Structure 1
């Protein structure tokens, strides 16, 4: 049986607390953060913004024909590692784009090919890469598939697939007709995922070896979906974007009690 504290937690909606907003015309797809800067991400543009002043210090503009759809980025060893695809074209093709985080110079393109879907985010955790491949209802979706075919894949060495997971129906129903636009591991061992539109964050438990993830909590957010990024300088502080107002939003995420 659940303890009284767990029962109370389950019946109380979790709410993120907004801390501040920074204007960013390029806040169209997502955001990443390091200790000093935040990075506004759009389909084929990235802006580097100083957290303290809100001033843009660098910007990259790509050729839309070569970079049709950058979805999200994360920072690893002064490199901006970005998930990208050819959305809304089919058959779906996915790739990893790498940039120097210091000046946003493009470094390389790594093709992941097709097979699972459209790559929306890729993050490093526990010595492995975790990648989310989206499927969609209608525009941008592949024939015979829909958002329920969205897949989380774990890669080992030499891009060998070591396991894969599907999203729980409770989350898929909330994301329809789109998919999981953002994702990042929390220090509590849960995977935090955002959809495309709803102002919500889903805390998921990922079973070992594959299968179906488990929804632990839904957290109300001040922004509507898209790619997210933890701030490395403050516990449980997450950056997200508000597409309508072109803003980067910093929020405090409440602790999630795990049964």
Structure 2
């Protein structure tokens, strides 16, 4: 039997190579400060910095609200997700050790701080969270260039599943190729997609990594990499758009929020 060399080569290509996706820029907004991430709902996007938040109209980025921590209790907010008119921001004491984390809750209308949930000590700093299928999912990061006092590097990065009442159920490690892509940092942003897959970013690279829960074992399954316009850090998928994948991301060096479509 004769085989086509080209056909054989294509059959060996990873799925993401044969059917590549990428993010195409739609618009960008340069703001005063954009350092950690962005969240989004149907009408506004929310810029997350270490100890402050700003709320902006989606159409033109006009700032309509601002919040700043005046207590000195918050150190490093990382990411956020909007659920039922509440903005849940993930916070940690990074780079301090021992690592402690919390979820800080804000009213999306006014950005008033309305609640907190302490995750306490964990083997990692919480960097992103999402609520999916009745459960909380939180990523805890470790860094190879800032190894913890216990000697953990970024291989200790994990995704943890909690009940809606924050009881820990399960956890998974990230696959080796994604940890290499993160290196020397860790995962900075993540969310569940409408397709039932996990989308996450690292610290710097303009890439979106798509993962899946495994059918056995304790390691997340790598699906594909999607090139992006925005950098790593915390991003958001606009869930108010039903028939497209609209991505809100940032470039922290020049303080841009970038809106793009993945296709």
TM-score with structure 1 setting the length = 0.92
Is 2:230 the counterpart of 1:220? no
Partners in 2 of 1:8 and 1:138 — Cα distance? 32
Is 2:251 the counterpart of 1:242? yes
* Map 1:44-59 → 2, pairs under 5 A: 44-59=51-66
Instruction: For residue 156 of structure 1, report the CA deviation from its aligned partner.
Output: 1.3
Partner residue in 1 for 2:218? 211
Instruction: For residue 211 of structure 1, report the CA deviation from its aligned partner.
Output: 1.0
Partners in 1 of 2:206 and 2:190 — Cα distance? 14
Deviations 1:14-39 (A, max 9, x none): 32111110122231100000001000
Secondary structure of 2:73's aligned partner: coil
**Which of 247, 253, 259 lines up with 2:262 in the alignment?**
253
Partner residue in 1 for 2:5? none
Partner residue in 1 for 2:108? 101
Q: Which runs of 5+ in 2 are unaligned?
A: 1-7
Secondary structure of 2:179's aligned partner: helix
Q: Which runs of 5+ in 1 are unaligned?
A: 255-259
Instruction: For residue 215 of structure 1, report the CA deviation from its aligned partner.
Output: 1.1
Instruction: For residue 204 of structure 1, report the CA deviation from its aligned partner.
Output: 0.5
TM-score with structure 2 setting the length = 0.90
Partner residue in 1 for 2:30? 23
**Which of 92, 117, 137 lines up with 1:85 in the alignment?**
92
Structure 1 segments of 4+ aligned residues over 6 angstroms from their partners: 1-4
**Which of 143, 146, 158 lines up with 1:151 in the alignment?**
158
C-alpha contact (below 8 Å) 1:88/1:141 kept by paired residues: no
Partner residue in 2 for 1:76? 83
